[in-house]
Every structure is written in structure tokens, then in C-alpha cells.
Structure 1
């Protein structure tokens, strides 16, 4: 069948919000490229509503002095849109052990295969933030007890699935986007990761503490969630934070320090920054004592 293909150029920091809006408008799928996003819509879609929404967003950006947004769209003649979509999403090796691949490709021998159907959720491994999270998870997970893992803003569920395949025993992924929750649940089924639970909601809805936390969000949200991330991080745990552009990481790190955590390391992938934080040694002892009702002396 024919379909509409939108090419949208906009700042990286605002892409996630736009993907949410495109999902609400009925997109069949969104592909993130280095400088643009490609969104697909059925030929029956209301083009007036879609272009009107994009024009409003464009005007808001222009009036606020932010980077200009541009978009164009074409009606692609009758052909299999899934074939076009599949050409844009191929397998990618990440780190020493991970391979991220779509369901239509064959798993690789000797690799930890993460099978991801992106649908309309964020997280395929092709984006620098997801890639850096996986690299840090692969290297830092052995430093924890690998019992409990929390994925805040799980998207496709790729990080939660990776945690399961790294050996974590209890994994929870949360997301406020119902489309992401649905996509993550389906990807967990495909990957046969029964130890992963996906639920709608935010970190505020989650009880308990975790040995490893992943939060691939945006800088403003990470700053806001800093106290919650600290409250859910076990005394000996590690949190990996991503979704920050260069320069934004300083504000996020400051927020984490205000919450009591310290920077372990920082990884830069192009314009994107990913950090790992933990409890400082003295704070670790104090936090462990507090959570055990003072059983441990600081």
C-alpha cells in the first residue's frame, strides 16, 4: 500500500518529545538518523492535522530563538512499507558481547543477542545513548551483586533485556508511555526473558532498592529524578545515566551529587554523554546503616 514518509530535521534534545507526538498522530514507525528523523504514516492519515501540528512546533521553536525545525513529506507509491523500514534497521555489534538485531535477522553465534522490534519506542542500539548504556552495563555489571536491576524509561526494553542476559535475576522496566510498555513486553517475549517485568508508571511508583539502575532519558528529567534515583540505588549499587548532550551532563552530575551520589566515569559518543554514578565510600556506609536501622556503624 502507499504511505507517507516525513523527513524531519530538529535538535537531538527534543526528539523524544516529538516521537511521542508522532505516535499520538498515528505514525507507523520512526527511524532516527544522524541529522534527521524519518516518520511513516499510512496513506489514510490526516495530512492536514499532521502538518498543522508540525507547523505549530516549528513556530514555537522559531519564536523562542531555538534551532530551526524543518520537515518535508512525500507520498511513496504502492510498495511494502515494512521492507523499507527493515532496510533501515540492521544488526549492530556493541562492546565485546552484545549484538542488537531485529526479529527478521538471524542471531549471531557466540554473542549475547538482543532482539528488538523498535515499533514506536526508543532504543535500538543504533543511537549513541543506548549504545553507551550497553557498553557501561557490560563492563560495570560484574562490580555489583547482579540481583536487582531497574530500567527507568525502558522504551523498547533493550536495557532490561540486556540486564537479564548479563545475569541479573530480578529486572523491572518502567515507562510512562503505553506504546513503549507494549513494545517492551513484546520484545521480552521474543527474547524469552521471563525474569523481566515491564510496567506502566514512573520511578516514584517503584518500591525497594536496586543493585543497578539505568536511566536513558533527557537531562531535565534526570535532574528532576536525581533524588528518586538515589533513593532506589542500593548502597553498593551503580546507576548509568544517559540522554544528555555535551554540557548538559554537568547539571545532571551536580543534581546527583546533591542527592548524595558521586561520578564514577563519563563516556562521550559524538554529542551524547553517558555517566555512571555511585554512593561515595562514607555515604555508602551511612546509607547502608540507615537502611538497616543503624545496624552498621559508619
Structure 2
């Protein structure tokens, strides 16, 4: 018989998140999920509203969960709390339900188990999600995929740099859509290894995928894509801009962060374009002036 566990979901101001996490750990949780506004949220999962965080605490029994709810409510009066009972699942497979295939422009991007559903008339990318970010169905990735598809249709053979390549999805997409030299970098060794595996699966072994710093990557590139977080985009602006020969696409940026990120690149001489938005996420487009 399948067992159950209790969840306590806490929506509260982001500034109170760390203190609330500490309290929950003291209250006997089995596990804790933190959804932070600054980090990408998995597809199909409710994201926090602006200025807030969501904490989901897991408990073995209802009594402990109920006591924790009272403690959190007392310590954090502005928090909104919800108790629920959940069926235990086989987490090794349950997470797959959240990974969906997407069709963007000429591309179909999906996980290995969904390949039989891929249309024959699309350029097919098979991406194994594992632990790296970038399966194709998150808005930040699909926003970039659409722009990469458009650019490659107009500039066959263009060189491409993918900063923070994750699963390698954008680099692989560029290559399969007709790019020339394609380089992908990531400071996470796990991501680099997974990107290389995905490149092999997608018959694009010639991609240059590594953990190299931007300083050691020889450029410039016709198209530079960076789907990472806003603060990192601002920090890396001089290094990223130096590699841009023609076009730059930035993603991983929430609507309220757009102006600050855009200003960092305009200040370095790039010209901002209209970009695009999907939900709360925006893509920033630039060209070399």
C-alpha cells in the first residue's frame, strides 16, 4: 500500500526566507524545497510572486506538520501557510512527468522517453535532463531557442558561443540548425559532462564544450547566447560583450530585472532591440553598433 506524507507550504517575504528555513529545520522536517524568485523554477511548479519565496517542508506525520504550522505562523505573521497530505511516489520516475517536449520554430526538443512523439518534419534534439538546467520547456530556454532558430535561418554557418551551456541544448540546437563553430562553456563540471553526453546523443560531437573561462575562449562570435541568472549576466557583461561580433541574446532574466541588465550592456556599446517575453521571463536582444 502506498504511504503518505505531510507538506507545509509557506509563502513569505523573501527577506524572511532564510530565518524560516532555519526554523523549519529545527522542527523535524524530512526535507525542504526552496523556490527563490531569482532562480529558475522547474516547469509545472508554482513560482513565488515578486518579492517572496516559497518553502515546501515535508513531514512524516500530521501532528508534527500541524505543530510546525503553528510555530511558523507565530514567528512569521506575514506568511501564508497551507498543509496538505501527499501520496508517496517513486521520485526516480515521478519527476519525469514535469519534463515536456517543446516545438519551437524548426525544432523539436524533448527527453529520450518522448522521442516516439517527435514529428518527422522537425529538427530533433534529445536532451537528458538529469541535474543540469535547460531541457527546452522552461520559458528562458524556449525564448532562446526561437531566437537561435531565426538567426541561424538568416545566417547559415555563423559561429556561436553559448555561455552557461547547462545541458548544451542551445549549443546543440545551433549546430543542428547549421552553425559553423559552436562553443559552450559552463563553470559546473557536471553540466559540462552532461552537455558532452547530449552532444554525442545528438550526433554533434564537434561542439567545443568545456569549463573554460570566457577569458580563455577565442572569439569573437557572430551569435552569443547566455541563459543564466541576472546578477551573473551583469557581472560578466564586459567579458560577454567582448565576444559579440554581431548579435547577443540574454535570458534567465525576470521582467523586473530587465532594465538593470540591459543598462549594463548598453553602457558597453551594444544596441538594445525589442527582445521577447514569456510569462515573467524576458529575453534581451542586442546587436553590435
Please tell me whether the aligned partners of residues 109 and 126 of structure 2 are also in contact (alpha carbons under 8 angstroms): yes
The alpha carbon displacement at 1:108 in A equals 2.4
The equivalent of 1:87 in structure 2 is 97
Q: Alpha carbon RMSD of aligned pairs, Å?
A: 2.9
Aligned partners of 2:101 and 2:137 also within 8 Å: no
Q: Does 1:219 align with 2:230?
A: yes
Structure 1 residue runs without a partner (length 5+) = 17-30, 38-65, 281-298
- Native 8 Å contact 1:6 1:74 kept in 2: yes
Whole-angstrom CA distance in 2 between matches of 1:183 and 1:74: 33
Taking the TM superposition and a 5 Å limit, the aligned residue runs for 1:46-195 are 67-73=52-58, 80-94=90-104, 96-105=105-114, 106=116, 107-144=118-155, 146-195=157-206
TM-score, length of structure 2 as denominator length: 0.73
**Shift, 1:118, TM fit:** 0.7
CA apart distance, 1:189? 0.8
Question: How many residues of Structure 1 are paired with residues of Structure 2 in the alignment?
Answer: 236
- CA–CA separation in structure 2 for the residues paired with 1:264 and 1:142: 19
Name 1:290's counterpart in structure 2: none
Q: Residues 74 and 159 of structure 1: is their aligned pair in 2 closer, same or farther, counting only changes over 3 Å?
A: farther
Max radius of gyration: which structure? 2
Checking the alignment, whether the CA contact within 8 Å between 1:141 and 1:212 is kept in structure 2 is: no
CA drift at 1:153: 0.1
* Equivalent residue for 1:268, pick from 267, 277, 280: 277
In the TM superposition, what is the alpha-carbon distance from 1:222 to its structure 2 partner?
Answer: 1.1
TM-score, with structure 1 as normaliser? 0.71
Paired position in structure 2 for 1:196: 207
Structure 2 residue runs of 5 or longer lacking an equivalent are 6-29, 61-85
8 Å Cα contact 1:8-1:70 kept in structure 2: yes
Q: Which moved more, 1:101-110 or 1:119-128?
A: 101-110
Match status 1:12 vs 2:37: yes
Mapped to 2, the partners of 1:6 and 1:179 lie a distance apart of 23
